[in-house]
Amino acid sequence: MTPRRPLTAGTVRFSVLLAAGLLVASGCGLGTSTTGLPSTGQGSQAPSVGPSTGPTASASSEPGPTGSAEPSPTQSNQPSELPTPTATDEPSASPSSPASVCSGAKDTPDFYESFAGSVSFPVYCAVLPAGWSLVSGTYRLANGGRITINFRRKADGATFELDEGSFCTDGSGCVPSGSAAGSGSFGDLSGDLVQTATGFALVVAKGEKPSWLAIGNGLDQAAFLALTATLHGLS
């Protein structure tokens, strides 16, 4: 057996230093870590906020006074609105259609026919002389149906409005306030004439459902009654 060499103080000191060095080296390798952002599982790309490159809706996709969509002929409780008149105000319905004589924009006859074919009461349209243009038109089929259409005379800004069906929910019949001024013709119906602060109104079956109302502003009595007398019945 080889005799052991006695450990001297120098040897012990060297061993202790060697062991300490190994522990430090080991700790440097195992104790180092990296702190990062937790993963979201969605990648590192930020959401885009740039403009969409997909197609945009055109005016024709939204029916309304400023749109060009045709009124829906379905039995819907949503309002249908008459398109804004274009440069061509010729009716689109065939000459044999009862609505072909109705004044307004190109699609006005179809608009009237759609409504008149969906309600049970007589519907009337305006047959106006030259110089009048369509402003707006809308109808609803809910609660028996109602229709409103407005016109303006270009020369002086006079207006003419028709309301028909269940358009009023109070006892006034939604007739403008004024004084009784006799009677007049609403197409082939007879109505009560009212002189208002700005013109005249003519109402048939006031406050009932249905009822019919014509309102003229900026018109004298003769001119107003000439327009209501020529209202054209569609059913």
**Taking the domains of the chain in order of start, what are their residue ranges?**
64-233
Q: Using an 8 Å Cβ cutoff, are 204 and 211 in contact?
A: yes
Dist. CA 80–CA 67, nearest whole Å:
12
Q: Using an 8 Å Cβ cutoff, are 109 and 93 in contact?
A: yes
Does the CA dihedral 80-84-88-89 come out positive or negative?
A: positive
Q: Using an 8 Å Cβ cutoff, are 142 and 102 in contact?
A: no
pLDDT of residue 172: 86
Of 83 and 211, which is predicted with more confidence? 211
When the pLDDT of each residue in the chain is averaged and rounded to a whole number, the result is: 73
pLDDT of residue 32: 35
Burial of 235 per CB tally in 10 Å (0-12, 13-18, 19+): middle
- Helix (H) or strand (E) holding 202, with range, is strand 199-204
* Residue 6 reports pLDDT greater than 90: no
User: What SS3 state is found at 153?
Assistant: strand
pLDDT of residue 235: 72
Cα 167 to its chain centre, rounded Å, is 20
Which residue from 193, 188, 186 is spatially nearest to 221, judged by alpha carbons? Answer: 193
Tell me which amino acid residue 158 is: A
**Each residue's pLDDT tens digit, 21-80:** 433 444 434 333 333 323 333 333 333 222 333 333 333 333 333 222 333 333 345 556
Dist. CA 118–CA 75, nearest whole Å:
7
Dist. CA 79–CA 143, nearest whole Å:
12
**Each residue's pLDDT tens digit, 151-207:** 999 999 999 999 999 999 888 899 999 999 999 999 999 999 999 999 999 999 999
User: What SS3 state is found at 235?
Assistant: coil
Q: Using an 8 Å Cβ cutoff, are 128 and 147 in contact?
A: no
In the block, tokens 């060499």 appear at 5
Dist. CA 112–CA 125, nearest whole Å:
8
**Each residue's pLDDT tens digit, 133-155:** 999 999 999 999 999 999 999 99
Burial of 105 per CB tally in 10 Å (0-12, 13-18, 19+): buried
pLDDT of residue 59: 30
**Each residue's pLDDT tens digit, 92-126:** 455 568 999 999 999 999 999 999 999 999 999 99
